């Protein structure tokens, strides 16, 4: 089969006026992290406000001996802007059908796994059960299939979620701005889209088919979501898929330029590392060690002090706990990455393996033991102030 050009939009994909794409790619193409020295890192650590070059230095190998200094500064900034708060949420996968062939993901359309999709009644039961744990924020996820999980289906799921939760995030296929606006009207508040890698050549080689292959449409998803009135957007690359330092730099620059263009947008980072999944050999995985991941998280905090940083259940419990209050401000709890699974058996296989299966109550008490404060909601909805709900 002839491969499509990843720079060519498909029919019905909205194209927006934006210079963010060129700005980010031009910065990344000239980023040579081997050029940074001790003095560049020390200089960045002395500043109150970092510029992109300082950020680049903190992501470089030259910053590795300075992790302790970076962590201390990061902790002070995290406390200044977020206090002791650690925001909790959980994901709910409502469908794992996918039209894309991403070679690193268990949901890819060529992978023979158990596929499933929750009915609205099943979604309601899952949501109700999750809400009984005390959580007030939920992230609704689907595989990327417009056919199996269309906008109306996702919209109905969001409306149901709004009856139990004060904050609704979505991690679904990228949409046009008017579709984001529709889901915002249904009750969605923020949008998570991972670019996976900002290296176009690599991107093309790992997205073999499906709409996701169109690189710039995915890149502009956060801007379209903000044009569709979402209050927040999340950025992330799948670290380990390509050169993680370059991808981490690109992600930071992407968030930075979007923040400058949309100053009131709430910006978040997620830092997934590539994980084993069903029918995949672990030895093929290009790993990024915990020290490297921690360095990236610290560099994000120092560069963008107001941005929320989520620590994934892909990571081990001890590492997740260690990042709290130092740089991470948000974490998932009571996580199931199959379709459904909070009430009955999962209806579709998992996307990847998780490393931290702790319940909401366990995470809650761990946060308190660290002298931090679990926070369940910090968002005012159309129904009124829900408040900084804490147990």
Residues found near ligand SF4 in the complex (CB under 6 A) = 98, 100, 102, 105, 107-108, 143-144, 212
Closest of 215, 110, 95, 179 to residue 143, by C-alpha: 95
Shortest distance, CB of residue 104 to ligand SF4, whole angstroms? 7
From CA 273, how far away is CA 317, in angstroms rounded? 15
Helices (H), the chain: 20-29, 38-46, 52-58, 67-82, 120-131, 151-162, 177-186, 200-206, 215-219, 221-227, 244-261, 290-303, 317-323, 360-369
Closest to ligand SF4 by CB, 100 or 329: 100
CB 100 → ligand SF4: shortest distance, Å?
Answer: 4
Instruction: Output the smallest distance, CB 239 to ligand SF4, in A.
Output: 14
In terms of Cβ atoms closer than 10 Å to its own Cβ (0-12, 13-18, 19+), residue 78 is buried
Q: Is the Cβ of residue 183 or residue 193 nearer to ligand SF4 in the bound state?
A: 193
- Nearest CB to ligand SF4, comparing residues 99 and 156: 99
Minimum Å gap between C-beta 369 and ligand SF4 is 35
Q: How far is the CB of 173 from ligand SF4 (least distance, A)?
A: 7
Strand partners, 384: 381
Give 196 or 266: the residue with its C-beta nearer to ligand SF4: 196
Sort residue 249 into left (φ over 0), alpha (ψ -120 to 50) or beta: alpha
Six-digit token pair at 357?
A: 């299966």
Question: CA torsion 238→333→145→108, rounded to 10°?
Answer: 50
- The least distance separating ligand SF4 from the CB of residue 279, rounded to whole angstroms, comes to 12
Query: Residue 180 or residue 277: which is nearer to ligand SF4 going by CB?
Result: 277
Match 């921690």 to its residue by tokens.
294
CA 387 to chain centre: 24
List, in sequence order, every residue forming a beta bridge with 270; answer none if it has no partner. Answer: 310
The count of residues in the chain is 391
What angle do helix axes 38-46 and 67-82 make, rounded to 10 degrees?
Answer: 20
Q: Which is nearer to ligand SF4, 271 or 324 (CB)?
A: 271
What's the closest the beta carbon of residue 6 comes to ligand SF4, in angstroms? 14
| CB 13, CB 7: distance < 8 Å | no
DSSP annotation of 325: T
CB-wise, 45 or 105, nearer to ligand SF4?
A: 105
Closest contact distance (angstroms) between CB of 227 and ligand SF4 is 22
In this complex, which beta carbon is closest to ligand SF4, that of residue 212 or of residue 246? 212
Q: Which is nearer to ligand SF4, 57 or 250 (CB)?
A: 250
Taking only Cα atoms into account, the Rg of the chain, rounded to an integer number of angstroms, comes to 20
CB of 168 to ligand SF4, least distance (A): 19
Min dist CB 245 to ligand SF4, Å, is: 22
In this complex, which beta carbon is closest to ligand SF4, that of residue 236 or of residue 305?
236
SS3 177: helix
Q: Do 210 and 99 form a contact (C-beta atoms < 8 A)?
A: yes
């Amino acid at each position: 089969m002839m491969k499509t050009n990843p720079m060519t939009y498909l029919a019905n994909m909205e194209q927006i006026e934006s210079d963010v794409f060129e700005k980010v790619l031009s910065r990344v193409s000239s980023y040579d992290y081997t050029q940074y020295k001790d003095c560049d890192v020390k200089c960045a650590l002395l500043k109150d406000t970092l510029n992109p070059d300082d950020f680049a230095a903190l992501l470089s190998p030259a910053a590795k001996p300075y992790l302790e200094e970076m962590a201390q500064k990061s902790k002070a900034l995290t406390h200044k802007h977020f206090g002791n708060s650690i925001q909790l949420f959980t994901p709910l996968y409502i469908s794992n059908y996918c039209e894309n062939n991403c070679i690193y993901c268990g949901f890819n359309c060529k992978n023979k796994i158990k596929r499933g999709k929750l009915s609205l009644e099943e979604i309601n039961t899952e949501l109700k059960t999750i809400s009984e744990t005390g959580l007030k924020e939920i992230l609704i996820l689907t595989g990327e299939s417009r056919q199996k999980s269309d906008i109306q289906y996702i919209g109905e799921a969001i409306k149901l979620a709004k009856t139990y939760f004060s904050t609704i995030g979505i991690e679904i296929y990228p949409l046009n701005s008017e579709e984001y606006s529709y889901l915002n009207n249904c009750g969605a508040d923020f949008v998570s889209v991972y670019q996976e890698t900002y290296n176009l050549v690599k991107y093309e080689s790992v997205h073999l088919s499906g709409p996701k292959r169109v690189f710039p449409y995915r890149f502009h998803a956060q801007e379209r979501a903000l044009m569709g009135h979402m209050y927040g957007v999340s950025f992330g690359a799948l670290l380990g898929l390509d050169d993680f330092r370059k991808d981490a730099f690109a992600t930071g620059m992407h968030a930075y330029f979007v923040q400058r263009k949309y100053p009131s947008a709430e910006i978040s980072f997620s830092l997934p590392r590539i994980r084993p999944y069903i029918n995949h050999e672990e030895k093929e995985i290009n790993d990024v060690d915990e020290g490297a991941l921690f360095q990236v998280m610290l560099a994000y905090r120092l560069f963008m002090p107001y941005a929320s940083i989520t620590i994934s259940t892909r990571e081990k419990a001890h590492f997740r706990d260690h990042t709290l209050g130092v740089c991470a401000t948000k974490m998932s709890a009571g996580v199931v990455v199959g379709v459904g699974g909070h009430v009955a058996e999962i209806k579709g296989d998992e996307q990847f393996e998780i490393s931290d299966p702790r319940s909401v109550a366990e995470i809650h008490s761990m946060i308190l033991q660290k002298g931090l404060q679990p926070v369940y909601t910090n968002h005012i909805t159309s129904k009124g102030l829900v408040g900084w709900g804490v147990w």
